[in-house]
Amino acid sequence: MSLQASFAVSWGAHVGIGTLPILFFGTLEQKQKYLPKLATGEMIAAFSLSEANCGSDPLSARTKATLSPDGKYYLLNGEKMWTTNAGWADLFIVFAKVDGEKFTAFIVERTFPGVSVGREEHKLGIKGSSTRRVILDNAQVPVENVLHEIGKGHHVAFGVLNIGRFKLAAAALGGAKEALTIATRYAKDRHQFGQPIANFGMIKHKLAEMAIQLYALESTVYRTAGMLEEVFHGIDPLAPDANAQYREADEEYPVECAILKVFGSEVLDYVADETMQIHGGFGYTEEFPAAQIYRDSRINRIFEGTNEINRLLMLDQLMRRALKGKLPGLMEAIGAIRAELNTPQMPTPDPVDPLDAIERYIANAKKAVLAVAGMAAEQVGTELEEKQEIVGHLADCLIQLYAMESAYLRTRKLQQRGYDITLPLAMTRVFAYDAMDAIEAHARRAIHSFAEGDMNMLQYGVGLFHTEVRIGQNMFPANVLLVEGIEETLDKYFLVPKPSVEERGAFNQHPAVKPLALCEYLIQLAAPAGAVVLDPFLGSGTTALAARNLKRRYIGIEINPEYVAIARQRLQNFTPSLFE
């Protein structure tokens, strides 16, 4: 279905945000009247929420509903924008404010007096779908067509959007898979320099990265589908308390649905963009499918709540769940992580099993995100929701973390069931490495948005949790050393014996060493220009001198063995007694 984006959008709006409001919130009479016809396609549904002056802020809607003098109808007046299926829909889920104040949902049939639609919008993509305004001019809506309760239309609007966001991600996955297929086929058929462009390293890299992103997205979609199926399974739509059961189930995974919406739409955009790039100039013409894929993909980051709004919703919903006691032990976990940050430890080697190593990465990522989120809440307080630059970065951490964990769980399950995981494992490892880089970057940017003075020390913890991952990646052929400071022993961690007090003094008195502690001098010898220094508190590139100035006691270093050899030789030339 996702192969035809316009039809997928039309179908998705009908079965999702068009039909689910009645299923989740309708009276028994409303369900019996409308659901059978909606299920067979005899009637097509649409969802009318946005207005010209209220898109992401639907509660500021200006469409009004007033009760008629005879009490039989609500008279609706206003215009709704961007209504998918408006050109052929038979009923609309419309939101208006009763008496200009009480935000309420209504079931509005196309044939009701006063209901009309505007012209088709000229869109960038999904041109095969219908998008029009819904015009309400004293539209007569029977009082029995009030959906849910007066003044509680926001329950309807926001409730069904969770499932809509999940469905959007599933559709994005299907569209991205088709785009990858088209890109791969073209790369194999297109010849340059006497061979298919699929043979070239950069094209291989593009195709591989697309496949990796799709593996992660597919893992998150199926994982979340299973979670949703578990909470919705067994609900009888005709039961007296069916609506309450539906609402309870729908409220269980709003964060995951928001994550999927953002991740799915952005993966689709990435794949669409790379598909066009692989096609080169031909991709920019309408004669090849890449152009349509590119145009059709862009809307997914806008509707069902913009990706920016969904990022804000993630934190908002997490806070709501915490207040309801659905995240037990959260504050205790944050406290334990802060205590761990105050007890620096030497990085430990990764487990032999790559999946066990990735499991450690996930645990470290959770610690880093919890540490930053907890400290942000402590520093900013109730204003956190208004600090969008912080919330946005925390949301991006959650997205990468959820996708990484989903890919890991899928690969682990394949392994447990005896499947060959060579390719899934490779994709999971690459995605995990990239996700950890992204999480660290977003965490640091979030910290920069609220930390002052000593609060900047929180960055050290983010680096600590990431340092072990860097080492585990074997990104450098390195030895991992821990230099504990001039008053601590070096012999367990460095490649030279512990110097005597006299030798230590001699080092400190030497003109070349005087400004530095002994351990810092050793670091400078072992890490000339171009060496990689990974400090578990400050991250990549921090010098020993900067660490000393910040009065940090522990400095983790990753050094290429050839630099260690250089250091040993220079030290031996300077103080032979160290090597006796």
Residue ending a domain, choose from 281, 311, 341: 311
User: Structure tokens of 23?
Assistant: 């299923």
Domain-located, residue 393: yes
Q: Give the domain extent around 549.
A: 479-579
Dihedral in degrees, nearest 10, Cα atoms 492, 493, 494, 498:
-30
Return the top range by mean pLDDT from 52-61, 143-152, 247-256, 528-537.
Answer: 143-152
Closest CA to 82 of 128, 117, 38: 117
pLDDT digits (tens, 9 = 90+) for 444-494: 889 888 876 545 445 545 554 554 433 333 222 222 222 223 223 223 223
Domain-located, residue 517: yes
Residue ending a domain, choose from 473, 502, 524: 473
pLDDT confidence band for 320 (50 / 70 / 90): confident
Same domain, 78 and 180: no
CATH label of the domain that carries residue 31: 2.40.110.10
Same domain, 452 and 539: no
Domain-located, residue 318: no
d(CA 417, CA 532): 40
Same domain, 393 and 338: yes
Same domain, 345 and 489: no
Total Cβ atoms within 10 A of residue 143: 13
Domain-located, residue 322: no
Same domain, 142 and 176: no
Largest CA distance in the chain: 106
pLDDT at 350: 64
Count: domains in the chain? 4
Burial 13-45, CB ≥16 within 10 A → b, else e:
bbbbbbbbbbbbbbeeebbebbbeebeeeebbb
CATH label of the domain that carries residue 268: 1.20.140.10
User: Structure tokens of 228?
Assistant: 């949703």
Same domain, 464 and 515: no
pLDDT at 326: 67
Domain-located, residue 323: no
Same domain, 428 and 542: no
Same domain, 382 and 413: yes
Domain-located, residue 324: no
Mean pLDDT calculated for residue range 9-38: 95
Catalytic: which of 304, 440, 468, 558?
304
pLDDT digits (tens, 9 = 90+) for 82-136: 999 999 999 999 999 999 999 999 999 999 999 999 999 999 999 999 999 999 9
Domain-located, residue 320: no
Question: Residue 349 pLDDT > 70, yes or no?
Answer: no
User: Structure tokens of 501?
Assistant: 């007090």
Same domain, 190 and 307: yes
Same domain, 132 and 167: no
Asked if 46 and 91 count as a contact pair (C-beta separation under 8 A), the reply is: yes
Residue ending a domain, choose from 134, 151, 168: 151
What pTM, to 2 d.p., does this model score?
0.79
- Assess whether 304 carries a catalytic annotation: yes
pLDDT digits (tens, 9 = 90+) for 249-283: 998 999 999 999 999 999 999 999 999 999 999 99
Same domain, 40 and 179: no
pLDDT digits (tens, 9 = 90+) for 205-239: 999 999 999 999 999 999 999 999 999 999 988 88
pLDDT at 450: 81
Closest CA to 262 of 315, 206, 226: 315
The owner of tokens 């205790």 is: 332
Same domain, 335 and 466: yes
User: Structure tokens of 104?
Assistant: 């309420």
Strand partners, 458: none
pLDDT digits (tens, 9 = 90+) for 367-398: 888 888 888 887 887 788 888 999 999 999 99
